[in-house]
Amino acid sequence: MFATKLMMLVLTAGAAAPVLAAVTDYDLDPDHTYPSFEADHMGISLWRGKFNHSTGKMTLDKATGLGTVDVTIDVASVDFGHDKLNAWAVGPEFFDAARFPQASYRGKLTGFRKGAKPRVTGQLTLHGVTRPVDLRVNSFKCIPHPLSKRDYCGADALVTIKRDEFGLSAGKDYGFSMDVTLRIQVEAIATE
């Protein structure tokens, strides 16, 4: 009886081990991750910008096609390629970086198995407001990093949000569209 219970315990533990071992932790590569955006400028042009500093983590379970993503963006690192606009954007009339220094996105990845179209469902916190935001993933790929040989993954995702829903309504009275397309190009390397 004892031998049977011991054998069942060993078999159960052995069967559970691969499931636990399948989850891999990743750190976002800050030198290759620059969330960017496109926004209307009075209906006559499209302005583009990016955030130069972001950090984050990701988990992947390649066996199930599931994972998580957690990205934090330094709002004061906004870069339109225009110094005066950068200074205005971090001020109290727009991002108000002194009060809201970070934006974040936390989500769950599904369907990133080979041949499947992955998705990310999650929540964006921006300017002190948190709302559900789902990302469309255009590409997702993992390869062995050529130098470290650790798993290295990259993705390109996008979504269009209404910025006034996050309290960022500057220009609305002048006819600016509130639609902003967020593009998230991300690379992450396995922690081990």
Identify each DSSP E strand in the chain by its residue range.
Answer: 23-28, 36-41, 45-51, 54-61, 66-74, 78-79, 102-110, 119-126, 129-144, 151-162, 179-190
* The pLDDT of residue 113: 73
* Six token digits for residue 93: 């009339």
Residues of 113-137 as b/e, b for ≥16 C-beta within 10 angstroms?
eeeeebbbebebbbbeeeeebebeb
Question: Along the chain (192 residues), what's the average pLDDT of each consecutive run of 10 residues?
Answer: 41 46 90 93 92 96 91 97 96 97 95 78 97 93 91 93 97 94 93 89
Domains, the chain: 23-190 (2.40.128.110)
pLDDT at 21: 53
Q: Write down the pLDDT at residue 118.
A: 83
Q: Are 164 and 172 in contact (CB under 8 A)?
A: yes
Look up the pTM and report it.
Answer: 0.84
How far apart (Å, rounded) are the C-alpha atoms in residues 56 and 66?
17
The encoded tokens of residue 104 equal 């974040």
Q: What is the pLDDT of residue 62?
A: 86
Q: Which of 107, 102, 106 is nearest to 53 (CA)?
A: 102
